[in-house]
Chain A
Amino acid sequence: MDFEFFTMNPIALFFASIFTSNILMSNFLGMCSFISVSKDYKSSFGLGLAVTVVMTITAAVSWVVLYYILVPLGLEYLSFIVFIIVIAAVVQILEMVIDRASPALYLSLGIFLPLITVNCAILGAILFMQIRQYGFIESTVFAAGSGLGWWLAIMLLAAIRGRIENNPVPAGLKGAGITMITIGFMAMGFIGFSGMIAVQ
C-alpha cells in the first residue's frame, strides 16, 4: 500500500492526545453527554471508561476498514457512513459482552453505551485519525489517549461541580451556564500544557 502515513513517537502522541490536544478541552468533542453526566461523580467514571474503551476499539477497526477496504476500492467518500455503522456495531457487541461478563460492570458502564453511539468524541477521534493520516499504531494510541483525556476531563469536571454545587449561582447561569464557565477555566488550564508536545 503506497499511502503516506504520518508517523510519530507513540508515547509522545499518547501524552499529546491526553493533555495538549485534549479532545474535549481543545477540540470540544463529546460535550453533550459531558455536560449532562458530569453532575454525578460515579456515573462520570463509568462513562469515561466506556468512552475510552469504545474509542480505542472503534478506531482500530475503522482504520482497518478504511485502509484495507474503502481506500483500495476508491470509496473513501463513504467513510462517514461506514464509521457510524462500525461504531454502532462495536457498541452493541460490547454491551452484550459486558452484560454477560460482569453485571456489576454493566450497571456502571453498560447503560451508557447506547448513549455513546452518537457521541461526537468517538466519531471525532476517528475523523481526526483519517484527516491526519495516522498509521495503525498511531491511530490506536491516539484513540486510547483521547479517550483517557476525555475521561480525565469528565472526572475533573464532576469533582469541581460537586464542590460548587452548594454555592450561590445566579439564576440565569444555573446548570449549563456555570458549567460552561467552569469548563472555560479548565480549558485555560489545559492550554498551559500546549508548549509540551504537538500532535501533528
Chain B
Amino acid sequence: MSAKPGKIFIDNLWFNNPVLIQVLGICSTLAVTNNVRNTLVMTVGVSLATAFSSWTLSLMKDLIPRKVRMIVQVLVISFYVILIDILLRAYLPDASRQLGPYVGLIITNCIIMGRAEAFAAANKPLISFWDGLTSGIGYMAVLVAIALVRELLGFGSVLGFRVMPEGFVPWTIMITAPSAFFLVAMVMWLARNLQARREAAAKAAKAAKAAPKPAAGPSPAKA
C-alpha cells in the first residue's frame, strides 16, 4: 500500500470511512452523539488514542511475538485510554461524567484495533500515527454531523448555545436511541450512493475508451 499522507487522509475521511464504509466503531457512535460537546470530546479522545496506539504498536511491531500480538495490542490501547480518562476526569469533569463508561469503552472500539491490525502492523511509526489520526478524524466527521442534527432538533441548541427560536418544540426522539440508528443509516445511504455514482461514472468512462471486441469463438486451448 502506498503510504502517501494525502491519500491516506482522503481514504480515511471518505472512501474508506471507518463508520460509513467499514461499519466500525458503531457502539460509541450511537451512544454519545446526542450532544455536540460530548461528541467532540469523545472523538478527539478516540483520534488521539488511535494515533498514539498505532504509533506505539508500529514502533514495537518487530518485537512482538505473533501469539501474543492481540494481547499486546489491547494492553497498549488500554494504556492510552486510561491516560485519556484520567485527563478528562481532571480537566473536563462534566463531560467525563456524562460520557461515563464510554470513555473506557474506547478500548474495545473496533476502529483502534482495526487500524492497529491493518496498518500499524505493517507500516512505519510516523505514518501509522497519521493513519490513526485521520481514521479518528473520519470518525469525528460523521459523529459531529450526526450530533449536530440530534442536538439541534433534540435540544434546540448547539454546543449549549440556544439556536432554535423560542417557540421550538424539541423532537424528543432525537435525544433517544432510535434517532441515532436512523441518522447513521441516512448518512451511510448518502455516502454510499455518492460513492457508487462516482464509481459508475468512472467505469463508464473507462468502458467508452476501450475498443469493442469481436465475438470470440471457442478457444483451442482449455484454460
Closest to B77 in A: A84
A124 at the interface (CB under 8 A from B): yes
B8 at the interface (CB under 8 A from A): no
With a cutoff of 8 Å between Cβ atoms, the chain B residues found around residue A105 in the complex are none
Q: Give the size range of B's interface with the partner.
A: 35 or more
Q: Per-position contact with B for A64-105: 1 when CB-CB < 8 Å, else 0?
A: 000000000000011011001000100000000000000000
> Does the CB pair A77–B82 fall under 8 Å?
yes
> Does the CB pair B31–A28 fall under 8 Å?
yes
Q: A interface, by DSSP: helix, strand, loop or mixed? A: helix
Give chain B nearest CB distance to A197 CB in angstroms. 17
CA A188 – CA B27 in complex, angstroms? 17
A172 at the interface (CB under 8 A from B): yes
Q: B interface, by DSSP: helix, strand, loop or mixed? A: helix
With a cutoff of 8 Å between Cβ atoms, the chain A residues found around residue B185 in the complex are 173, 176-178, 180-181, 184
The total number of A-B Cβ pairs within 8 Å is 123
A53 at the interface (CB under 8 A from B): no
> Does the CB pair B107–A80 fall under 8 Å?
yes
The 10 closest A-B CB pairs, nearest first, are: A184-B181, A127-B101, A180-B185, A172-B193, A172-B192, A31-B26, A28-B30, A120-B108, A187-B178, A172-B189
Q: List 29 A-B contacts (CB under 8 A).
A: A26-B177, A27-B31, A28-B29, A29-B27, A77-B86, A80-B78, A80-B82, A80-B85, A81-B78, A84-B74, A84-B75, A88-B74, A117-B70, A117-B74, A118-B110, A119-B108, A120-B105, A120-B108, A124-B101, A172-B196, A178-B185, A180-B184, A180-B185, A181-B182, A184-B177, A184-B180, A184-B181, A188-B178, A191-B177
